[in-house]
Amino acid sequence: MRYLLYFLLLPAINATAQTRVMDSLRNVIKKNKRDTVELQARINLIYELLRRDPPQAHRLSLQTAKMADSLQHPRLLAGTYIYVVEYYRDAGQLDSGLYYLNKIEDLAKQNPGNKRINFNFLRAAGLFYKDMAEYNKALPFVKASITLWDKEDETRAGQFLNLGNLYFLMGDFKKAAESHLQSLRLFEKLKNKRGQAYCMQSLGNNYFHLGQLTIAKKYLEQSIAMKEQLGDKRGVLISIVSLGDVYKDMNAFEKAEQTYAAGLSAARELKLAREEARVLNQFGLLYRRMQENKKARASFEQSITIYKQIGDSVTAIKPQSELFNLDLAEQAQKKTESEMLSGLNTLIRTGDRQQEAIEYHRLSEYYVSLKEFEKALYYLKKHDSLHETVKGNEVVLQMKELEEKYNTEKNEQEIALLKKDQELQTAELERERANKILVLIALISVVVIAVLLINWYRIGNRAQRLLEMERIRNSIARDLHDDIGSTLSSINIISQLALKNANGSTSHFQRIAQHSHRLMESMSDIVWSINPVNDSLERVVSKMKEFAAEILDPANINYTFEGEEALEKLKLDASQRKNLFLIFKEAVNNTAKYSGATAVSIRFTHMLKKLTVSIADNGKGFDVALAPSGNGLNNMKARASGLSGQLEIITSATGTTVQVSLPIT
């Protein structure tokens, strides 16, 4: 059952290493360079696919053969033809396989000095004739390939493995074991897991035919485990069928039947007709040993049909021979039954009722041996009705035993069906329970994650608000200290001077009035900047217009605002509003005081998450390097930097432009 489940789940299981190799090969092919590197990548990918998806491997091999032929690369063309032959051989299309084998032979003859091409032909011919069951024809090809390829690598190790398999099929188990062990030692030296797995398979078969079933089982299970790790579906199939043979000879009929069922399912999934026929033949041998002749006959007949469909008349001899033996055994049974019934009819005709009763009893025993309990019970009842001298209790006991055997057989069949139904129901319930648990875990995980995310958001938002509040407090404190503190200090000093100098008190009081006015403006600007009502840029622009009117109108300077429509729905925080307005305020003040301009243009631009404010006049300009510190250029640059923005001053004899840019999120 384990192997049946494996084949149902295997399409979802991939050995990670092999998957990476196949993905790498596909990436090389996708480059479509049509060179030797792509050809070699294609051949390597065909080799991997033959174990997983034979039809896809076949399609790719035909495409690769065309490419190798067009590029006039005989070595890689021969290498591709090998896999074409292997596919047709396994699919039972022997004529097609022989056609491509002849193509490899032609390439070998055309390139006698190419060692690889000649070796490929010898190896392909040996495997082809071995699978055709023409062992004597295959042997010289395999031996010649080993002689030709003397390098101690995976190729030579593989040929020792093929030689051992051939000796095994020829019945020479000693030579088979020697070749297999030689192959295994070389594969282990080279650390080739796939080769080791196939050697384990072959050694398991050797020990099986030598009657060492426990050792054979160990080697085959190791082979299956290694092939599963490699994702070798076809290799697992071959080892599973061999393991079924071991269970059959161990009389573990239920395990053998389950193992063969897994192998049959795999052969059909992989579309390997020859392996399907072989598994059906093994099913027939199992059922014959279980004395279930009807099932055995059906299995042998299906195996013969498939072998004939693929044109393998040689291998079809095996199930045909078993079918003949089954026919002979059944004919012998029918002949015995016919002779016994003929003798019974003679006794009935002659009237020898005592001997007739004895014959009834013999017929009953005969049918018991055939497990035909219904007929056995019938003739025992006949015996009872004639043999009045036999004690009634003894006859009743025999009848009850036969009835119990007959009923037990029926009950066992019913119980087996019920057990299967119960197992299916149990499996379904377990699957549903597992699904419910997974869904519950998923829901709990979602809830926990949601709670954590909400909590994280709340904490982060709260921390952000606290940081913003702290930043605003620091800004207000700094502004109060810088603007208001310095202004109050000036007022205090001027007041002291006014008290000491009564004659010049008028000018001092004018200065006190000016400083007081500046103090009021600073307080107004600070309150305005922290009021959330003024978040929108429309309110900022409105404030700018008020200030421009207050400063520029008395100086008879015309001014315009442009681009206000681009500021809709944009918002600034308190710091941005304050710094942007103060830069604007400083620029307008400088224009009114120093530029001698008659017109000012204020333009707003919003593009790519950046706000740009430009204040341009038509005044006389100034030299930035010679500008006095009192006009606030340094403050403007510092405030632009605080906005993570840029301040640019462009001045000439025809006017000055102050442009500030800041990011808007």
How far lies 123's CA from each of 59, 99, 145, 155, 164, in Å?
22, 16, 6, 10, 14
Look at the alpha carbons of 122, 101, 274, 264 in this order and tell me if their dihedral is positive or negative.
positive
What are the φ and ψ backbone dihedral angles of 408, each rounded to 5 degrees? Answer: -60, -40
| Residue keyed to tokens 């020990």 | 207
Region 641-661 average pLDDT: 91
Are the C-beta atoms of residues 270 and 234 closer than 8 Å to each other? Answer: yes
Q: Can you give the pLDDT at residue 598?
A: 93
Q: Which residue has the higher pLDDT, 486 or 215?
A: 215
Q: Can you give the pLDDT at residue 393?
A: 43
pLDDT of 346 higher than 80: no
Binned at pLDDT 50, 70 and 90, residue 19 comes out as: confident
SS3 per residue for 459-512: HHHHHHHHHHHHHHHHHHHHHHHHHHHHHHHHHHHHHHHHHHCCCCHHHHHHHH
Within the chain, all domains assigned CATH 3.30.565.10 are found at: 535-663
Binned at pLDDT 50, 70 and 90, residue 354 comes out as: confident
Percent of the chain with pLDDT over 70: 82
Model confidence pLDDT, tens digit, residues 229-273:
888 888 898 899 999 999 999 999 999 999 999 999 998 998 888
Note the Cα 590 to chain centre separation in Å: 70
- The CATH superfamily holding the domain 535-663 is Histidine kinase-like ATPase, C-terminal domain (3.30.565.10)
Partnered with residue 647 across adjacent β-strands are: 660
Report angle CA 458, 462, 467 to the nearest 5 degrees: 150
CATH, domain range 33-150 = 1.25.40.10
* Segment holding 611, helix H or strand E: strand 610-617
Q: Can you give the pLDDT at residue 195?
A: 86
Helices 54-70 and 74-91, axial angle in degrees (round to 10): 150
pLDDT of 27 higher than 70: yes
pLDDT of 21 higher than 80: no
Q: Which residue has the higher pLDDT, 165 or 404?
A: 165
Burial of residue 60 (CB within 10 Å: 0-12, 13-18, 19+) is buried
pLDDT of 3 higher than 50: no
The single-letter code of the amino acid at 93 is Q
Model confidence pLDDT, tens digit, residues 459-485:
877 777 667 666 665 666 566 555 665
| Residue keyed to tokens 């008879």 | 556
The answer to whether the predicted template modeling score (pTM) of the entire model surpasses 0.95 is no
Q: Can you give the pLDDT at residue 501?
A: 65
Binned at pLDDT 50, 70 and 90, residue 221 comes out as: very high
Model confidence pLDDT, tens digit, residues 413-470:
778 788 887 888 888 888 888 888 999 999 998 999 989 988 888 887 777 766 766 6
Most confident of 62-76, 416-430, 463-477, 505-519: 62-76
Region 48-64 average pLDDT: 85
Binned at pLDDT 50, 70 and 90, residue 325 comes out as: confident
pLDDT of 124 higher than 70: yes
Within the chain, all domains assigned CATH 1.25.40.10 are found at: 33-150
C-alpha span between 398 and 572 (Å, rounded) = 106
The single-letter code of the amino acid at 376 is A
pLDDT of 360 higher than 80: no
Q: Which of 297, 262, 269, 267 is nearest to 281 (CA)?
A: 297
Binned at pLDDT 50, 70 and 90, residue 382 comes out as: confident
Q: Which residue has the higher pLDDT, 572 or 17?
A: 572
Model confidence pLDDT, tens digit, residues 129-147:
888 888 899 999 999 999 9
Domain 328-411 has CATH 1.10.1060: no
* Helix, coil or strand: residue 536: strand
Q: Can you give the pLDDT at residue 368?
A: 76
C-alpha span between 316 and 312 (Å, rounded) = 6
